[in-house]
């Protein structure tokens, strides 16, 4: 009431006048079920009161909401009192999640592979703890067949004007001399006793070249074998009993030719079949039919894809060559070039992973024996696959045919090395990072004196693979024309 109403009521009561009755306010019932009871949220916050009167339009009033305070966190659903539909994951989101999981797993695997958790042991070297990845790279799957090599006893005579402290070839191989890596390749006969194929393959890594020295199997090495023939192909089986068989041949090669041997590869004639079949054959030009035996014939053609059996017949065939074993050595050059061309085509047409897969299969089946690790052989394969044909040269040890008499009547046909011509050839092609070899530093024994040579046809037989592209077969004792 205001002041006027109070004064009027006071006067009426004083005079005894009857107080007029006030009309009743018309009220409307509120549906209790629909009534929203707000929650009390704070000590100093007054609750809201529904003061709707009559039929007042309820739609004009905002719906009651729960207040959480300025700094109080609440979900959007609670804040606005309504359901918000969940967002569906897109293909991009799923891909991102999968990629994240895969990368996480890959990171864990990489970490495990690179953790030094395995002990690596190698003869002549201290034990060290290495990662799984390093252990696999250094793994020598066939080392138990022939064994490790001893350190060379010859003086290396490194040319320090070239190989100084800053010199490197960039390939990081376990080399005796930086810049070069030399592999002795031996091919056995069926009995695995005689090494009828002997190649010294020197990779001039710093110079980007490959030099191959063919050693005829009949070369006389009288100080290195107990076999009465004195031939170098018997050194493996009949050499120094104090060392391993492979070391016998390595010592002979190093002492006579002055070439430090870093590694070796040996294989048998029947393993050549498997390797050639694995890579799909070797294309070659066959000038005339080759009859290895009555039922073992290689047809003439250009090209002929030699299978494993035919490849073995080709590299071993010698009976029809006018020069006998020397003819076979010369014919093997053609096979070398064809095999090199096959490797290059594998890299070009099928890719390096296919080449590595072939190497793994050869290792797994033990078609070769070597002291090289998988990593070392892969590095050499990579190096060889980028060489052009002009960068690969093959030479044969100079010499001539001779007779070695064991008594006044009995003798063996041998190949007598021309020592001076051999040393000159070695100094020119096989000692790029060594000082020249002297005549007295070689253990080569000549059975024909220099002034009594019958001929010098084999003193200079060097040829690049480019020059061998159109090479034909050696002269035959039988006329095929």
Other C-beta atoms closer than 10 Å to the C-beta of 326 total 23
Q: Give the tens place of pLDDT for each residue, 212-251.
A: 999 999 999 999 999 999 999 999 999 999 999 999 999 9
Residue 63 scores a pLDDT above 90: no
Q: How confident is the model at residue 374 (pLDDT cuts 50, 70, 90)?
A: confident
pLDDT score for 104: 78
Residue 421 scores a pLDDT above 70: yes
Other C-beta atoms closer than 10 Å to the C-beta of 308 total 19
Q: How confident is the model at residue 454 (pLDDT cuts 50, 70, 90)?
A: very high
The SS3 assignment for 20 reads: coil
Q: Give the tens place of pLDDT for each residue, 252-266.
A: 999 999 999 999 999
pTM given for the model: 0.75
Q: Give the tens place of pLDDT for each residue, 284-331.
A: 999 999 999 999 999 999 999 999 999 999 999 988 898 889 999 999
Residue 468 scores a pLDDT above 80: yes
Task: Copy the structure tokens of residue 400.
Answer: 């001539």
Q: How far apart are CA 254 and CA 258, in angstroms?
A: 5
Q: Which residues contact 365 (CB under 8 A, 6 or more apart)?
A: 274
Task: Copy the structure tokens of residue 448.
Answer: 């024909």
Least confident range of 93-102, 127-136, 276-285: 127-136
Q: Which residues contact 146 (CB under 8 A, 6 or more apart)?
A: 244, 245, 246, 264, 266, 369, 370, 371
pLDDT score for 106: 76
Q: Give the tens place of pLDDT for each residue, 45-57.
A: 555 555 555 555 5
Return the CA Rg of the chain.
46
Q: How confident is the model at residue 14 (pLDDT cuts 50, 70, 90)?
A: low
Q: Could you give the percent of the chain with pLDDT greater than 90?
A: 60
Residue 31 scores a pLDDT above 80: no
Q: How far apart are CA 244 and CA 222, in angstroms?
A: 19
Residue 339 scores a pLDDT above 80: yes
pLDDT score for 105: 81
Q: Could you give the percent of the chain with pLDDT greater than 70?
A: 75
Residue 151 scores a pLDDT above 60: yes
Residue 159 scores a pLDDT above 70: yes
Residue 155 scores a pLDDT above 60: yes
pLDDT top residue among 338 and 13 = 338
pLDDT score for 7: 62
Q: How confident is the model at residue 35 (pLDDT cuts 50, 70, 90)?
A: low
């Amino acid at each position: 009431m205001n002041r006027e109403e109070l004064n009027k009521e006071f006067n009426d009561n004083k005079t005894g006048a009857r107080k007029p009755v006030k009309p009743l306010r018309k009220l409307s019932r509120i549906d209790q079920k629909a009534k929203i009871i707000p929650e009390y949220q704070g000590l100093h916050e007054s609750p809201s009161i529904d003061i709707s009167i009559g039929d007042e339009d309820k739609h004009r009033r905002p719906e009651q909401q729960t207040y959480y305070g300025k700094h109080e966190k609440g979900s959007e659903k609670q804040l606005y009192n309504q359901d918000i539909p969940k967002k569906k994951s897109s293909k991009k989101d799923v891909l991102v999640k999968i990629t994240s999981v895969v990368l996480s797993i890959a990171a864990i695997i990489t970490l495990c592979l690179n953790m030094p958790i395995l002990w690596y042991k190698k003869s002549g070297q201290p034990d060290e703890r290495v990662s799984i990845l390093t252990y696999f790279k250094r793994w020598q799957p066939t080392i138990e067949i022939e064994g490790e090599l001893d350190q060379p006893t010859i003086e290396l005579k490194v040319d320090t004007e070239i190989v100084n402290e800053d010199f490197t070839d960039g390939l990081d191989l376990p080399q005796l001399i930086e810049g070069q890596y030399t592999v002795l390749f031996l091919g056995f006969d069926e009995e695995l006793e005689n090494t009828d194929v002997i190649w010294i393959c020197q990779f001039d890594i710093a110079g980007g070249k490959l030099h191959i020295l063919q050693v005829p199997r009949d070369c006389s090495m009288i100080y290195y074998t107990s076999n009465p023939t004195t031939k170098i192909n018997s050194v493996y089986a009949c050499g120094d009993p104090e060392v391993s068989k492979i070391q016998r041949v390595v010592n002979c090669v190093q002492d006579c030719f002055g070439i430090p041997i870093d590694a070796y590869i040996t294989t048998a004639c029947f393993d050549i079949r498997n390797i050639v079949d694995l890579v799909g054959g070797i294309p070659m030009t066959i000038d005339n039919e080759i009859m290895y035996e009555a039922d073992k014939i290689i047809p003439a053609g250009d090209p002929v894809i030699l299978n494993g059996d035919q490849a073995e017949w080709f590299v071993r065939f010698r009976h029809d060559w006018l020069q006998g074993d020397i003819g076979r050595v010369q014919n093997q050059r053609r096979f070398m070039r064809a095999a090199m061309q096959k490797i290059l085509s594998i890299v070009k047409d099928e890719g390096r992973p296919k080449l590595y897969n072939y190497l793994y299969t050869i290792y797994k089946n033990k078609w070769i024996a070597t002291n090289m690790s998988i990593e070392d052989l892969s590095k050499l394969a990579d190096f060889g696959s980028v060489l052009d044909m002009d960068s690969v040269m093959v030479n044969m040890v100079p010499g001539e045919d001779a007779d070695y008499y064991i008594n006044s009547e009995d003798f063996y046909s041998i190949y007598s090395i021309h020592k001076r011509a051999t040393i000159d050839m070695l100094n020119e092609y096989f000692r790029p990072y060594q000082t020249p070899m002297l005549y007295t530093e070689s253990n080569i024994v000549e059975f024909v004196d220099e002034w009594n040579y019958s001929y010098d046809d084999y003193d200079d037989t060097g040829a690049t693979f480019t020059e061998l592209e159109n090479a034909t077969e050696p002269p035959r004792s039988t006329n095929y024309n």
